[in-house]
Amino acid sequence: MEIIDLKVFASVVENKTTTKAAKSLGMTQPGVSKHLTRLERDLGGLLFARTGKYLTLNEFGLFFYDKVKKLLAEVHELLGLRYGSASPIGVLKLGLTDAATLVITPPSLIEFRRRYPGVHISLDVDSSSRIEDGVLDGSYDVGIVTARPKEHPDLEEEVLYTDMIDAMVSADHPFAKRRSITLEELADHPLIISPKRRRTRTIIDGIFSSHNLEIRDTIDVYMHTAAARFAEYGLGIALLPRRFIREQLAFRKCNSVRIAGDPIRRSLSIIRMKGRAVSDSVAMFYSMIVEKSRHLHH
């Protein structure tokens, strides 16, 4: 059985006679019949029943034609591919922090999948330090992390955007009607924040320390959505990115309160290994998300 046999078979089905199929294919009628005979011999049975002057598919022929149509469509697509000119294929391995899933990454991935559907996306959500380790050891092609205070010597890093950290409180919290609160006031209340091992927590602790303040009590929560829910129930004040809080206010009984002077700022960066050769798909995603970040309002 060869592809030409299947093409001839499909043409006979669509044209209903070997004569018309031969004309459509630019072949002779005996040539078409030869291909049909070989196909039926390979299959071990007939595909057609003759009705008057037309050929109609028998039960097995109907089943077989459905399979052949799908196969020929795939063959047509394959024959359309050209080395170097096709849409990229392969795998894009991403490592993201929880914060990186909130703003710029989702729309970038949607656009990337639309433009390059042949690329499989593998995505993990983890801490910034683990994502950096994954980029360094090749587990990830690209990472999006909370920016480091000092540049890593082996990583190429570009800031995508900077966000403020605000307070999120329940609707009945004493601070709910306030426009802003001070760091001193926050230090005296239970705070729902990232755990000690997270880079955002290091930033927050550093800001309080620089103002000679010590946080009285904390509830350590890894995920932003969980922190927002705990704040909604009144377990404490959640310190979360401003963009995330704005999204959550639409469907949570919470209020957003700014920290006076916006002292806590956190940047997200895209990283990749310096000097490592990457596939076209990885390079395209990197360029796409960097370009999109330039149009993001800070």
pLDDT band at 80 (very low <50, low <70, confident <90, very high): low
Render pLDDT for 287-298 as a digit per residue (tens, 0 to 9). Answer: 889 888 887 654
Class of 90-160+267-293 in CATH = alpha beta
Render pLDDT for 111-124 as a digit per residue (tens, 0 to 9). Answer: 888 888 888 898 99
**Mean residue pLDDT across the chain:** 88
Strands 217-220 and 190-193: parallel
Query: How far is residue 178's CA from residue 257's CA, in Å, rounded to a whole number?
Result: 7
Residue 246 pLDDT greater than 60, yes or no: yes
Residue 239 · residue 264 · CB < 8 Å: yes
Which ranges in the chain are annotated with CATH 3.40.190.10? 90-160+267-293, 162-266
Residue 236 · residue 230 · CB < 8 Å: yes
Class of 162-266 in CATH = alpha beta
In the CATH hierarchy, which fold is given to the domain comprising 3-79? Arc Repressor Mutant, subunit A (1.10.10)
Closest to 63 measured CA to CA, from 78, 38, 43:
43
Which ranges in the chain are annotated with CATH 1.10.10.10? 3-79
Going from the C-alpha of 295 to that of each of 60, 94, 289, 291, 292, the distances in angstroms are 58, 22, 10, 7, 6
Render pLDDT for 201-226 as a digit per residue (tens, 0 to 9). Answer: 999 999 999 999 999 999 999 888 89
Query: Which amino acid is residue 131, in one-letter code?
Result: I
- DSSP H stretches of helix in the chain: 3-15, 18-25, 29-43, 59-79, 105-115, 128-137, 183-187, 199-210, 224-232, 242-248, 280-293
pTM of the model: 0.65
